[in-house]
């Protein structure tokens, strides 16, 4: 009987040791896998950021629209570089990659305006497909008498390009605009109460764009999981540089879309 108890005790101890050792190995494997995923994500973000940096360094606009597009591309390069330097998670690396890709979409827009080849096709941005694109020119007059114009084409009246995507959880269609009306939401992560009325006036019934109901509902998608904290980690993404200048200059003095509820 004592021998049986001793064998049972030894067997139990061996099983416990083996189980713990196995769990430790699994944890180590998980950590190694996560590290590999992070390194891959950082390498991918760096590849696109370096490509954007080369374009920003070697290309300049030759009119208002292409110059503005390249200024936005430069701002996106600064954001991607800062995000890449501070990225400690796959999610943060993905945000840096997204900034770089957005910048390259701006570059392609500038190249198109100047009659240059756009270069290799770019991956879609998060939410770009859902956001649609401007398919006709429209102008909305605000209560203060100023106007906001959306157009599928660049002009001196619509020099602000947006490649399309989700801003603070709501779609902004790709197109050319007279002013960067999405900038306040991009800066703060929140839309003004009057934004719904503005979107409806500008895009209701326009083919190729989300309906006002879809804009109101919003859809953060995968990027929504990244949270405001991760956006903050990108090092003053929208707080300075050319974007900051455009925001302060073109949109200063309040930008509430001119609608009252």
Q: Does residue 48 carry a pLDDT above 80?
A: yes
pLDDT at site 134:
97
pLDDT at site 127:
87
What mean pLDDT comes out for the span 118-133? 89
Higher pLDDT, 111 or 8: 111
**Of 127, 40, 33, which Cα lies nearest the Cα of 87?**
40
Lowest mean pLDDT among 8-17, 63-72, 131-140, 147-156: 8-17
Domain boundaries, the chain: 3-250
Backbone angles phi, psi at 122, to 5 degrees: -105, 150
**Of 58, 39, 59, which Cα lies nearest the Cα of 47?**
39
Q: Does residue 239 carry a pLDDT above 90?
A: no
Higher pLDDT, 32 or 98: 98
Query: Who contacts 146 (Cβ-Cβ below 8 Å, separation ≥6)?
Result: 258
Q: Give the integer Cα–Cα distance in Å for 154 and 66.
A: 8
Per residue in 15-33, pLDDT (tens digit) is 554 454 444 458 888 888 8
Per residue in 178-218, pLDDT (tens digit) is 999 999 998 999 999 889 999 999 999 999 999 999 999 98
What dihedral angle (degrees, nearest 10) is formed by the CA atoms of 246, 180, 93, 229?
Answer: 90
Contact at 8 Å (CB) between 235 and 83?
yes
Q: Give the integer Cα–Cα distance in Å for 108 and 127.
A: 18
pLDDT at site 241:
36
What mean pLDDT comes out for the span 137-149? 89
pLDDT at site 25:
58
DSSP for residue 4: H
Q: Does residue 222 carry a pLDDT above 80?
A: no
């Amino acid at each position: 009987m004592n021998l049986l108890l001793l064998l049972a005790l030894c067997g139990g101890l061996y099983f416990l040791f083996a189980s713990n050792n196995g769990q430790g190995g699994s944890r180590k494997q998980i950590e190694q896998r996560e590290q590999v995923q992070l390194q891959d994500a950082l390498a991918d973000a760096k590849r696109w950021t370096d490509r954007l940096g080369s374009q920003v360094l070697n290309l300049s606009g030759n009119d208002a629209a292409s110059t503005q597009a390249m200024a936005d591309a430069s701002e996106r390069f600064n954001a991607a570089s800062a995000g890449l330097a501070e990225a400690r998670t796959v999610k943060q690396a993905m945000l840096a990659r997204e900034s770089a890709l957005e910048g390259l979409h701006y570059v392609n827009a500038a190249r198109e305006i100047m009659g240059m080849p756009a270069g290799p096709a770019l991956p879609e941005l998060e939410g770009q497909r859902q956001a649609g694109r401007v398919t006709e020119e429209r102008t909305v007059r605000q209560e203060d008498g100023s106007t906001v114009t959306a157009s599928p084409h660049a002009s001196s009246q619509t020099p602000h390009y947006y490649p399309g995507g989700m801003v603070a959880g709501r779609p902004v269609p790709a197109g050319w605009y007279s002013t960067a009306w999405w900038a306040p939401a991009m800066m703060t992560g929140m839309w003004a109460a009057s934004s719904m009325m503005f979107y409806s006036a500008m895009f209701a019934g326009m083919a190729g764009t989300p309906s006002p109901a879809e804009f109101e509902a919003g859809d953060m998608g995968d990027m929504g999981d990244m949270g405001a904290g991760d956006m903050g980690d990108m090092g003053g993404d929208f707080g300075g540089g050319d974007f900051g200048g455009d925001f302060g200059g073109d949109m200063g003095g309040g930008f509430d879309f001119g609608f009252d509820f």
